[in-house]
Structure 1
Amino acid sequence: MSTPSDTATTYQLDREYVFHSWSAQGSLTPLVIESAQGSYITDGDGNRLLDLSSQLVNTNIGHQHPKVVAAIKAQADLLCTIAPQHANAARGQAAKLIIERAPQNMRKVFFTNGGAEAVEYAVRMAKLHTGRNKVLSTYRSYHGGTNTAVNLTGDPRRWPNDLGTTGNVHFFGPFLYRSPFHSTTQEEECQRALEHLEQVIGFEGPGSVAAIILETIPGTAGIMPPPPGYLAGVRALADKHGIVMILDEVMAGFGRTGKWFALDHYDVVPDLIAFAKGVNSGYIPLGGVVVSEQILATFNDRVFPGGLTYSGHPLACAAAVATLTAMEEEGIVDNAAMIGETVLGPGLAELAERYPMIGEVRGLGVFWALDLVSDRASRQPLAPYGGSSPAMAELVGALKANGVLPFTNYHRLHVVPPCIITADEAREGLAAIDKALSAVAHHYVG
């Protein structure tokens, strides 16, 4: 247990020397984290908080899982690092376990250090495979902070980084609650979204489009499960025009939705899968691209022009092997599905019945979002797009005061605990959300 002086020193060192992401540096007051275990973190003041954020929706196996920690230690004793051109047991075993959980057309894994790089390399593969340059992505999306990935991103983090990267084209994906197509049913939204996408392909020139990249279930943008038939429709359009279909499973993959991959809910098979986060719960940075047989054939006799010094890092891959093995042995993916079906889904729906501030509840597994509004009839968001509000700031404070570490984005509260969360812990989280919503209910004006 740290002392107040330890906490103060940690905070001082951070503020003096650490440059934080996505932040104005002068106004930050970062929370000091002392330790974490399972579904909880402990802050520098000794407060124990239920982690309903999974940090950045990545600690799927929870904090400090003993089997993963032990695997990292064992690998460190054996071999800390080795260049990617060599074969390594941890790397090969990690790739095997990933391929065994992927669709049957997938053959190999190209390892990266995280999700943004996975997207970068998936796009590069698609462009080289097709000989085309354009990539289509949705406005409500986040694909990473590197140059290509952030320009493919739809949300406002793209705006100050938007260099007009050649070939990046955005379109509207389906989202019935805030439909850009004036739809009234999921069936209408699906049909109109697909018609819109086909028009975009036509106007851009089908022979110029290398890839369509989609988050299987958009995460940071709002956890919006696609309507039935949409992803299959995108697959059909891609096949019709010789376009590579890339599914970004960085946030939704590896148990988060109650399946190994979110795509398993939708009976769709992409050409490339970008992954990261949950593959080893972020214990050591790791990401990658799962490559289909069709794409692989392009590079069997042709040099792939790309690589990373730390691709398939042994420590990270050992953590992935231990994570995927433990998730299998301990039924963690099934637990995520059960928690969503029996606790979080019903519990959040019940809160929506009592709090008109909750405009919509969306999600599955341990991947949920509350769309918060100041007026349910007009669906006026509780905070503006790309910003926050006093109401959302008050909500975050109330959640922490009630023992929860939250994940919020603009006008939404995301409920995204580790996949290991127990039913009792999930109910504890729901009770804290209930109290916090009660504390901010005065912001509702509808």
Structure 2
Amino acid sequence: MTDAATTTATAPADRIEESMHDDLATTLDPERAHALDRAHVFHSWSAQAALDPMVITRAEGSRVWDGQGREYLDFSSQLVFTNLGHQHPRVVAAIQEQAARLCTVAPAFANGTRSEAARLVASHTPGDLDHVFFTNGGADANEHAIRMARLHTGRHKVLSTYRSYHGGTHLAVNVTGDPRRWPSDHASAGVVHFFGPFLYRSPFHATTEAEECQRALEHLEQVVAFEGPGTIAAVVLEGIPGTAGVMVPPRDYLAGVREICDRYGIVMIADEVMSGFGRSGRWFGVDHASGGAGVVPDLLTFAKGVNSGYVPLGGVAISDAIFATFAHDRYPGGLTYSGHPLACAAAVATIRTMEDDDVVGRAAALGDDVLGPGLRALAERHPWVGEVRGTGAFWAVELVRDRATKEPLAPAGGSSPEMAAVLGGCKERGLLPFTTDHRIHVVPPLTTTPDEARAGLRILDEALTAAHAAA
């Protein structure tokens, strides 16, 4: 080949590499990123004019860096999804390898990466949840699970708890129980809410976990009776409620819900979007039920930790009985990117890493040995801490003005000067917390080391001390 021919053949690759370098350079400028964000990006759950978002330029493991080069310990896992931490080399390599081989394919075609991802998910879901419908995230997973339940039963109503979050799409936000649903709730989605168990703020005047469990189940059965069992398609429950407060259910509660659903032919849907894939120190939140014997729902939804959020992915794990409903009758639903190869490659690498490195066991130990004892010790020192609760790498610190009255330190859906002071103190000291209302959720990556976890708890301790002294 002549020199001229060689130059002609290699020029396109050179130009592509140069363009890639230029594209990357424009995105690495933090000041430009912030300016363009404010000019063009519309943020979720926010008043746009009041925003001043932190620019994150890089991340690794349990740490992130902002545009000024400051380092933070990530106690939020972003939105509780980076279960394997940031930039895990095995997951990054899997995405790169998949992109080089097959970036995308329509969901109607079989693909080895999607098939393996489904097999791996099914290998860890409880019972006969062996069929997987992939979605783009948790909200549409819940939407499709409810559609499946309605078609399977021929009924329309859906029951869910007041303290819950199930997603931001129209149906999912109506199934949500917390105040985020109010602006979109016109009582037209066929959703009925009830009270789930929460001993610290018991709606049943219970004084023990056993009382709370019994009275919560009696309440649910009354709601079913008054709504009409023959009208109810599904009960939707988070395996462990997440943004509502990390409220681990009493050991027999989910088994009691399972029994009520079985008695009345109601589909039980477990929302494991946040609590699934090791977050709680078990593969799924429902695995904690009945003292660790677990409970098998009819449908189980997932997202977030299935691939540490590296590429958007969610799904519904489906029981044999519900699968049979659609074995010969068409399921009227689908998504353009269902089981996207890049997302599924990340899932395969994530789940295999979790298996190989015993990530679930490490999360359980992190909760038992570090986070649980550390947070309980912190509660003894700080009058604003009303309660700490959780399991694995899934904890909530409930902040109150008065331990006797349990008055929250901030209102539902809002903040307060005291909460702002605590959060500001955390960030000043190099900690990114996850907060909802008057709570700080301690939800670091499952791969966080014990020393990193202790460092984060020390910062939270210092921030609480400083904020209380200044109040």
Global fold match (TM > 0.5): yes
* Residue in structure 1 matched with residue 51 of structure 2 by the alignment: 28
* Residue in structure 1 matched with residue 201 of structure 2 by the alignment: 178
Matches within 5 A, 1:409-428: 409-428=436-455
* 1:291 equivalent in alignment to 2:318: yes
* Residue in structure 2 matched with residue 77 of structure 1 by the alignment: 100
* 1:216 equivalent in alignment to 2:239: yes
* 1:201 equivalent in alignment to 2:228: no
CA distance in 1, matches of 2:27, 2:256: 57
CA distance in 1, matches of 2:347, 2:33: 30
Give the 3-state SS of the residue equivalent to 1:309 in structure 2: coil
* Residue in structure 2 matched with residue 439 of structure 1 by the alignment: 466
Of residues 228, 233, 256 in structure 2, which corresponds to 1:233? Answer: 256
The answer to whether the 8 A contact 2:117-2:348 is kept is yes
Aligned residue identity for 1:339: L
Unaligned runs of 5+ in 1: none
Of residues 332, 339, 354 in structure 2, which corresponds to 1:327? Answer: 354
CA distance in 2, matches of 1:116, 1:290: 14
Of residues 16, 31, 34 in structure 2, which corresponds to 1:11? Answer: 34
CA distance in 2, matches of 1:193, 1:265: 18
CA distance in 2, matches of 1:186, 1:192: 10
The answer to whether the 8 A contact 1:57-1:251 is kept is yes
TM-score computed with the length of structure 1 as normaliser: 0.98
Of residues 268, 283, 290 in structure 2, which corresponds to 1:245? Answer: 268
The answer to whether the 8 A contact 1:4-1:45 is kept is no
Deviations 1:72-127 (A, max 9, x none): 00000000000000000110000000000011211210000000000000000000
Give the 3-state SS of the residue equivalent to 2:301 in structure 1: strand
Moved more, 157-166 or 35-44: 157-166
Give the 3-state SS of the residue equivalent to 2:312 in structure 1: coil
Matches within 5 A, 1:154-169: 154-169=177-192
Matches within 5 A, 1:216-365: 216-266=239-289, 267-365=294-392
Q: CA deviation at 1:2?
A: 9.1
CA distance in 2, matches of 1:376, 1:287: 39
CA distance in 2, matches of 1:155, 1:200: 19
Q: CA deviation at 1:3?
A: 11
Cα gap change, 1:443 to 1:167, in 2 (>3 Å) = farther
Q: CA deviation at 1:442?
A: 3.6
Give the 3-state SS of the residue equivalent to 1:106 in structure 2: coil
* Residue in structure 2 matched with residue 101 of structure 1 by the alignment: 124
Q: CA deviation at 1:6?
A: 2.1
Q: CA deviation at 1:165?
A: 2.5
Give the 3-state SS of the residue equivalent to 2:130 in structure 1: strand
Give the 3-state SS of the residue equivalent to 1:111 in structure 2: strand
TM-score computed with the length of structure 2 as normaliser: 0.93
**Cα RMSD (Å) of the superposition?**
1.4
Give the 3-state SS of the residue equivalent to 2:399 in structure 1: strand
CA distance in 2, matches of 1:165, 1:56: 29
* 1:403 equivalent in alignment to 2:430: yes
Q: CA deviation at 1:245?
A: 0.1
* Residue in structure 1 matched with residue 154 of structure 2 by the alignment: 131
Identity of aligned residues (%): 64
The answer to whether the 8 A contact 2:155-2:233 is kept is yes
Aligned residue identity for 1:438: T
The answer to whether the 8 A contact 1:219-1:252 is kept is yes
Q: CA deviation at 1:263?
A: 1.1
Aligned residue identity for 1:270: P
CA distance in 2, matches of 1:270, 1:367: 21
The answer to whether the 8 A contact 2:171-2:189 is kept is no
Aligned residue identity for 1:408: T
CA distance in 2, matches of 1:5, 1:319: 24
Unaligned runs of 5+ in 2: 1-23
CA distance in 1, matches of 2:342, 2:277: 19
Aligned residue identity for 1:328: E
CA distance in 2, matches of 1:252, 1:420: 16
The answer to whether the 8 A contact 2:104-2:340 is kept is yes
Q: CA deviation at 1:441?
A: 1.5
Aligned residue identity for 2:160: S
CA distance in 2, matches of 1:173, 1:357: 25
Aligned residue identity for 1:195: E
Q: CA deviation at 1:365?
A: 0.2
Aligned residue identity for 2:246: I
The answer to whether the 8 A contact 1:407-1:414 is kept is yes
